[in-house]
A and B are shown apart, each in its own frame.
Chain A
């Protein structure tokens, strides 16, 4: 991921953005801590992390609003730290959109073209083309406050794209929308990005959005990049316990290593022993080390008798403590045996399955290959 230089980029797809060892400290506080990644031309990257993890700070450094304390950012191979924001070819959609309230939709979209000295005779045609692209062709003369939330989003996208920037930045612009509109706009971002092929860095704290829209996902926590991988790999093979817990609904079993055989680990949690496999990106399991086993809620099976769970190598008896019908699935919480561990279980396709009630005695089971083990 690191050590990228200008000449490396020429072999396969060209590297559009290269962030190299970038730090940002505020009075000794590391908002961004040694961030490094490369993003190829035309790719859609999502930076995913909880609030306060440094996502906005990283994005603002790429846009040029803040100068890194150390490290360098390259856009199309050229270092940009010395360039002020208005000299960078970067379009940004702000979290609160930051549309110019005294201008119409068309004037907002025309503004970057005027500022970047595009040939004035071509501006109206280009503005119309981009308003059409975001399906606002007939709203050109509306003032910003006369547009709905979703329409304002679209104006902001058009304004960020109209001058054909090398890079598009999205700072959680969908966070304020209701769920339906948000999901609609996620797909809209994806459509426009594919249509134009513009390299995009999106920021969100919404794991679903990260998985749905991106080619690649960077997970951030406490200013550090935890993992960079495809959405599938991020979900299936998290690099550490934080990523495993942040994406998806995950059960954690804390324990100590009893024995190891290659990547397979047997560990004791409470009075029980479980089997899992070492999943951390680095290191290896050692006996009596503290570890945590991570298990997705959808990998846990549930049945009335242990026999029905024949295909599971690990089977436990449990009692249902909560059952929430969510339409496409039922989400259960069960308490395991006497050590009181709570396990979350997703049962998909509930229509064909038995619905369990609160207080019911059940058996749950899973397979060791679904238990991902990380150092604790």
Chain B
């Protein structure tokens, strides 16, 4: 009789440890951002919002943040149609190049980002488009697209094929069937995929490092540049802004499609 009890204690301790480990960086950085001292420490030295004031008034940071948002927006806008169509096609049809496509979906985990980054840098350099913002958005889209495709495929795999036949039976030609029936059915996947693309592009660092220069620097690169000089509590404050962005997006996701659907995606 005591076995299940001790088992559940062990499980709860494990869960607690995992939660602690996962949240530790967030808690530490959150605390450190409110310090009133000049050094980044945890627990913080007193409480103040001075570092938030500092980053808000820093023109360079604000510009970098706006550029990051632009990059994320461009990336998402491209990923939505491309990823949605590819995801649906992959789930529904026996495609000729299915194998190659599946290998492509594994790419983000197999090819080091630095490799993709150098490739894109050479490509964009030859095309003479380095130094602009939009190529960075395209780059983020290219390297992260598999996540979008995955999200859509997971939704489309649950799609009842009879739904599309039913639409045809109702008199809907194929294009109307796509917009009225197929697309709404995979919408949870499209929404979660595009929000994921947005976060990934907002946070993207390594590839952007290779593709940006002083005029197009994005926020993560900007942070990296300032770390190289000196680590001050304003970095903690910026990190908190990032975390807040992610939290907003997760809240959006919960409102729009419900997190349970997102968590169920395979």
With A and B bound together, what is the CA distance between A7 and B184 in angstroms? 46
Q: Are A98 and B166 in contact (CB under 8 A)?
A: yes
Contact residues, A61-102 vs B (CB, 8 A): 63-65, 84-86, 90-92, 94-96, 98-102
Is B168 among interface residues, defined by CB-CB distance under 8 A?
yes
Q: Are A98 and B163 in contact (CB under 8 A)?
A: yes
With A and B bound together, what is the CA distance between A285 and B85 in angstroms? 64
**Chain A min CB distance to B63 (Å):** 41
Q: Are A115 and B181 in contact (CB under 8 A)?
A: no
Q: Are B172 and A86 in contact (CB under 8 A)?
A: yes
Can you list 8 residue pairs at the A/B interface with Cβ under 8 Å?
A63-B165, A95-B162, A100-B180, A100-B184, A101-B185, A115-B167, A115-B171, A116-B170
Q: Are A85 and B168 in contact (CB under 8 A)?
A: yes
With A and B bound together, what is the CA distance between A102 and B188 in angstroms? 11
Known: A111-B180, A115-B176. A100 touches B169 (CB 8 A): no
With A and B bound together, what is the CA distance between A85 and B164 in angstroms? 11
Which residues of B pack against A, CB within 8 Å? 160, 162-163, 165-173, 176-177, 180-181, 184-185, 187
Q: Are A91 and B169 in contact (CB under 8 A)?
A: yes
- Most chain A C-beta atoms within 10 Å of own C-beta, residue among B162, B173, B180, B181: B162
Is A159 among interface residues, defined by CB-CB distance under 8 A?
yes
Which residues of A pack against B, CB within 8 Å? 63-65, 84-86, 90-92, 94-96, 98-102, 111-112, 115-116, 159-160, 163
With A and B bound together, what is the CA distance between A132 and B198 in angstroms? 47
Q: Are B169 and A84 in contact (CB under 8 A)?
A: no
Q: Are B170 and A112 in contact (CB under 8 A)?
A: yes
Known: A98-B166, A100-B181, A102-B185. A163 touches B160 (CB 8 A): no
Known: A102-B184, A115-B176. A96 touches B171 (CB 8 A): no
**Chain A min CB distance to B169 (Å):** 5
With A and B bound together, what is the CA distance between A159 and B170 in angstroms? 8
With A and B bound together, what is the CA distance between A177 and B161 in angstroms? 21
Chain B contacts of A101 at CB under 8 A? 185
With A and B bound together, what is the CA distance between A101 and B180 in angstroms? 11
Chain A contacts of B181 at CB under 8 A? 100
Q: Which one of A65, A84, A100, A160 lies within 8 Å of B163 (CB-CB)?
A: A100
With A and B bound together, what is the CA distance between A293 and B16 in angstroms? 74
Q: Which one of B163, B169, B173 lies within 8 Å of A63 (CB-CB)?
A: B169
Closest to A100 in B: B181
With A and B bound together, what is the CA distance between A115 and B166 in angstroms? 12
With A and B bound together, what is the CA distance between A85 and B167 in angstroms? 9
Q: Are B185 and A94 in contact (CB under 8 A)?
A: no
With A and B bound together, what is the CA distance between A84 and B171 in angstroms? 10
Q: Which one of A65, A96, A159, A160 lies within 8 Å of B168 (CB-CB)?
A: A65
Chain B contacts of A159 at CB under 8 A? 170
**Chain B min CB distance to A162 (Å):** 9
**Chain A min CB distance to B228 (Å):** 51
**Chain B min CB distance to A201 (Å):** 14
Q: Which one of B160, B162, B163, B169 lies within 8 Å of A85 (CB-CB)?
A: B169
Q: Are A65 and B185 in contact (CB under 8 A)?
A: no
Q: Are A94 and B162 in contact (CB under 8 A)?
A: yes
**Chain B min CB distance to A17 (Å):** 16
Closest to B164 in A: A98
Closest to A117 in B: B171
Q: Are B171 and A116 in contact (CB under 8 A)?
A: yes
